[in-house]
Each structure stands twice: as structure tokens, then as C-alpha cells.
């Protein structure tokens, strides 16, 4: 069976796009690929909220200016304007689709996070992503779209033209994780909504599936990627030997939380006049510096000076999680450390989410739209998912009927491979990759460390390619293959930027390049061809 649309990914970006396409084209045949359960993605874990101008004292110009400032001179102003202007309609669409946001009196309660000059973050307590994901899942399960849970995409399929040329994207191969069988999913149009690549690092706030699959597949398919050196580290993840990098929302600092040294003294004012409300890259580097200077394993985040009822009502998820580990945030500070959180670079797209390959779209964290620049401002990520989900859906619905059905696609060929008898190789390489990325390509970098990482990645890619060509694919092998490729893109991008800007900080080039305007890092694959219309 072939589809009108294949959506790879089941978070806010993918589900909102699918629903909007069905609103315009109710008879469209849509397949949605979920790596695990439909609910398992980064959206479900997003705590803070969604940035939008909803208060009369706020303006879209202010939202635009704050985003440009946080982005370190690399944001595309046209993109930022497009997103902030479409923020309020995106929020209304969520409300119309059953998302319940917190109210204070008759108005929605808005909080403020790092980098914002106004309270403009609408939220559902401290579990906004869960509220959004749950509502969208309910709608999608009623919609008639076909959902493939526990399927991981292997690679995109491009139509083969004469003379060895490659044409439009016509589907994807996917591994059924339950059966181990690779299936073929042909489609007129394909959307990558696979999220980011923060699991390339040893410590991450992301779910296990954030392994850069969409970025790697798009690169192999011939798409350019941009600004991969800008990996955002969330400053405050719970530090506890039994906690799996639980994120402590930025809203805790937005509502007055203080960052403390182990001796109980504050330190953020020593690094930035905005204190705890400085952008995440500034806060993460400050914490990293304090930890290295003092030799301490963590710092502390304290909001216990606020009333206990206020803390419990505003941060019920964080409060309950901390209590699991014997930490009462109403009475004592929370031990925290930075962790890899968000991939600001990704697959290059236009304002409709279109990539370099015809009929292939990328939306959400997998993409590089120009919104985030060198550093994502808090709570602009879910907003980007929704705005570009809507924009791509409009483009797909308008062109769907003019796109020829996909041709007959060859089935996946496993006749020349065998089952692996050395899965330990995959596990070892996975662990080694994430460790040296944390040590060499983390919050603070140097050319020597990046060169070491580059050398090791080259060897890993060779080992993985040999393994991939010999044995049947597994989920772990596919994720390792994608992570290694993304790691290579990150390191290549970082080595090419000989300055410190936004999230990329190197001790060899600690200052910004004075040349204006700032330049994006764009990597071009060998099989890149300029985009052609259908």
C-alpha cells in the first residue's frame, strides 16, 4: 500500500502537521511512524511551555528582539518574524484541539524564562509537553491516520531517474522493532519530524530515541545541514546517582530560583547582569566553570524561599520527582548539573519546511529554519514545531494532488546479510562515542579536543559501515549509525567555526568574529543537487 503522506516522528511537529493536513484533505492516506509508543518522544517531556505574545503589555516586536538577541546574530529575521507572528494562532489551534493551559483568574497564566523580556510563556503547570502530546494523540487516533508504533526509519527512498540521477523522495524503509522485519512505506510526500540528536552526548535530558535519525537520513539522501555546532546544554538537570537526567524546568529560575555554589552563595551575577535569567548557554557555561574551578560534581538550584504551596502548584512534576530521591524543594535546594538538551542546527528548510530534496519536508528539532541561530531561546521550540507544522501542512495539502503517486519501490534486500553474533561491538561503540563527545565536544571546546574526536569518529564510521554491510539491522545498530554520522557533522561544523558564538565556545577562539553579518555553517553532502520543483 502507498500513502499520500508519510510522517516520520510522533511528537508535536509530526502530529500537528498530520492533523492539519487531514483538516484540509480528510481523505488523505497518512502513515505516522513512531519509534516507540506513540507517546514516546521529546514533546512528552517538555516541561516549561510555549512562547507567544498573549499579554496586552507585550509585543511581537519584543518577542522578535529577544529571540534575535539570544540567537547570537545568526537568527534569520524573516523566519523569526514569521514564527512570532503566527504564535498566537498556533496556541489557539491547540486550545481548540483540547489542550488545557493554566489560568490565573480569567486570564491564562504566563511565566517568564531566560532571555525573555516579558511574561509570555503559556503552560500547563510544569508538564506542558505532556498536555500537548496527550491532546494531539487523542485527535490522531480518531483521525483515520495509520500509526506504526515501534518502527524506526532506516533510510529515505529517492526515485531513480535516468543516468544514475536521483529524483524526489518517494518513501522510506522502516524496521519493525517487534518482528525485526524491514518494511517499505511508499508515499507522495515524506515529513521528517524525528527530533534532535542530544543522545550523542553521555548526559542528556532527552528520551533515549533522540539519536539524530532524521538529520542522518536527510544527509544521506542529499540534504544540506546547517549550524550543527550549536548543541544546547540545559543548565539544570537533577543530579542524583539514581536519577536519569531529569530536567528541572527553566521556569524554576524564571519564578525566582537561585543558583548556588556548594557553600550556599549565589554566583550568576558574577557572570552576567541578567543573573539566573541569562540565556541557557551563559548559565550552562557559568555552572561548568564553577564546577571545574571548585572541583565539585554539581551546583544547587534553590527556590525554597518561595511559599511551599506556590512551589507545589507551579512545579508539581519537579516537586514529585525530587521527592522520589529524598529532596524536598520546598525546604532545600536541588542538586543540578548541565546536560545536552537541544539541537539548534539540522536539516536546512525554507518557510514551508521544504528541504533540498523534492517532496521531503523537515519540521521541528530535526530542522534548521533560522529561528534559533546560535542559541535557542527558552520555549521557542514547541512553538517552532506548531508554526512549521502548520506551514508545511498548508504546502503539502496544496500540492498533494499534483504529485504523481510513488513508483513501485524495491523491497528491502536481506539476502546477503546474517544475524550478528557480536552485539557487544555495537554497545561498546555506542558508549565510547557518547563519552568522547561529552569530553571533547561539550560545553567548552578546543581545537585539540575536536581533532581527537574527529579522528575517533572516522574510525567508528568505518567500523559501523562494515558492521552495517554484514549483519541484519537492529534498532541499536541503526541508532549508532545515525549518532556517529551526526557526531561527525557536529565536529566538522565546530572545527570550521573559528570564533565563540552562542552555544559554541572554544578556548582557542574565545571572542566573536568581528566580521558582520555572522555566517551560518552549511555542510553540503556529495550527492547534493539544487532543489527542483515536482
Name which of 308, 297, 310 is nearest 332 in CA terms. Answer: 308
| Dist. CA 200–CA 185, nearest whole Å | 27
Query: What are the backbone dihedrals phi and psi of residue 521, each rounded to the nearest 5 degrees, phi first?
Result: -90, 115
Name which of 533, 534, 493, 532 is nearest 215 in CA terms. Answer: 493
What DSSP string describes 126-161? T-HHHHHHHHHHHHHHTTT-EEETTEEEEEEEEEE-
User: 302 and 257 in contact (C-beta within 8 Å)?
Assistant: yes
Burial (CB count within 10 angstroms: exposed 0-12, middle 13-18, buried 19+), residue 241: exposed
| Dist. CA 173–CA 409, nearest whole Å | 10
DSSP state, residue 402:
G
Q: Which residues are catalytic?
A: 280
What DSSP string describes 364-394? GGGEE-SSSTTSPPTT-HHHHHHHHHHHHHH
Name which of 385, 400, 340, 384 is nearest 534 in CA terms. Answer: 400
**What cell was used for 514?**
568581528
Alpha helices in 409-521 (DSSP H): 423-440, 447-468, 475-496
| Helix, strand, coil share of the chain (percent; to 5) | 40, 20, 45
Q: How far is CA 284 from CA 273, 339, 448, in A?
A: 15, 9, 22
CB atoms within 10 A of CB 118: 17
The answer for residues whose C-beta is within 8 angstroms of residue 192's C-beta and 6 or more apart is 8, 9, 214, 217, 218, 347, 355, 360, 361, 362, 363, 366, 367
Specify the 3-state DSSP secondary structure of 265. coil
CB atoms within 10 A of CB 507: 12
Q: What count of residues does the chain have? A: 534
| Dist. CA 416–CA 174, nearest whole Å | 18
The answer for residues whose C-beta is within 8 angstroms of residue 96's C-beta and 6 or more apart is none
- Grid look-up 542546527 returns 345
- Grid look-up 525530587 returns 322
Amino acid at each position: 500500500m502507498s500513502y499520500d503522506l508519510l510522517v516520520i516522528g510522533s511528537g508535536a511537529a509530526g502530529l500537528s502537521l498530520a492533523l492539519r493536513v487531514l483538516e484540509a484533505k480528510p481523505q488523505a492516506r497518512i502513515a505516522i511512524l513512531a519509534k516507540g509508543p506513540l507517546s514516546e518522544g521529546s514533546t512528552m517531556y517538555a516541561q516549561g511551555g510555549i512562547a507567544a505574545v498573549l499579554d496586552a503589555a507585550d509585543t511581537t516586536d519584543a518577542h522578535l528582539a529577544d529571540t534575535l538577541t539570544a540567537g547570537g546574530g545568526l537568527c534569520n529575521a524573516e523566519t523569526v518574524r514569521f514564527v512570532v507572528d503566527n504564535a498566537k494562532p498556533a496556541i489557539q489551534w491547540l486550545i481548540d484541539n483540547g489542550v488545557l493551559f493554566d489560568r490565573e483568574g480569567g486570564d491564562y497564566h504566563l511565566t517568564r524564562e531566560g532571555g525573555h523580556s516579558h511574561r509570555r510563556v503559556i503552560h500547563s503547570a510544569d508538564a506542558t509537553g505532556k498536555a500537548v502530546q496527550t491532546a494531539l494523540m487523542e485527535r490522531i487516533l480518531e483521525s483515520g491516520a495509520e500509526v506504526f508504533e515501534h518502527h524506526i526509519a532506516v533510510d529515505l527512498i529517492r526515485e531513480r531517474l535516468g543516468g544514475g540521477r536521483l529524483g524526489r523522495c518517494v518513501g522510506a524503509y522502516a524496521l519493525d522493532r517487534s518482528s525485526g522485519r524491514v518494511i517499505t512505506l511508499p508515499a507522495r510526500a515524506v515529513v521528517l519530524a524525528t527530533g534532535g540528536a542530544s543522545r550523542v552526548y553521555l548526559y542528556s535530558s532527552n528520551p533515549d530515541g533522540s539519536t539524530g535519525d532524521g538529520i542522518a537520513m536527510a544527509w544521506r539522501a542529499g540534504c544540506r545541514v546547517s549550524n550543527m555546532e550549536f548543541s544546547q546544554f540545559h543548565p539544570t538537570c537533577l543530579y542524583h546517582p539514581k536519577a536519569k537526567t531529569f530536567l528541572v524546568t527553566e521556569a524554576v529560575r524564571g519564578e525566582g530560583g537561585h543558583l548556588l555554589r556548594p557553600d550556599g552563595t549565589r554566583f550568576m551575577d558574577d557572570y552576567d547582569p541578567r543573573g539566573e535569567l541569562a540565556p541557557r548557554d551563559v548559565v550552562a557555561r557559568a555552572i561548568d566553570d564553577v564546577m571545574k574551578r571548585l572541583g565539585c560534581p554539581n551546583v544547587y538550584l534553590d527556590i525554597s524561599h518561595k511559599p511551599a504551596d506556590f512551589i507545589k502548584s507551579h512545579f508539581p512534576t519537579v516537586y514529585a520527582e525530587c521527592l522520589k530521591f529524598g529532596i524536598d524543594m520546598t525546604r532545600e535546594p536541588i542538586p543540578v548539573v548541565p546536560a545536552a538538551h537541544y539541537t539548534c542546527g539540522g536539516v536546512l528548510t525554507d518557510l514551508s519546511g521544504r528541504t533540498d530534496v523534492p517532496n521531503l519536508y523537515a519540521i521541528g528539532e530535526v530542522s534548521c529554519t533560522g529561528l534559533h541561530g546560535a542559541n535557542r531561546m527558552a520555549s521557542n521550540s514547541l512553538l517552532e514545531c506548531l508554526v512549521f507544522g502548520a506551514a508545511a501542512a498548508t504546502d503539502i495539502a496544496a500540492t498533494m494532488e499534483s504529485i504523481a503517486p510513488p513508483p513501485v519501490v524495491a523491497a528491502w534486500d536481506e539476502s546477503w546479510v546474517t544475524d550478528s553474533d557480536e552485539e557487544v561491538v555495537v554497545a561498546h561503540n555506542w558508549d565510547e562515542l557518547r563519552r568522547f563527545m561529552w569530553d571533547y565536544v561539550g560545553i567548552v571546546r578546543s581545537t585539540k579536543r575536536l581533532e581527537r574526536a574527529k579522528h575517533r569518529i572516522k574510525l567508528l564510521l568505518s567500523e559501523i559501515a562494515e558492521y552495517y554491510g554484514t549483519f541484519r539491522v537492529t534498532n541499536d545498530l541503526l541508532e549508532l549509525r545515525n549518532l556517529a554520522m551526526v557526531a561527525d557533522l557536529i565536529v566538522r561544523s565546530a572545527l570550521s567555526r573559528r570564533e565563540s558564538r552562542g552555544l559554541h565556545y572554544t578556548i582557542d577562539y574565545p571572542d566573536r568574529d568581528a566580521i558582520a553579518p555572522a555566517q551560518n555553517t552549511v555542510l553540503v553532502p556529495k550527492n547534493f543537487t539544487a532543489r527542483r520543483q515536482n
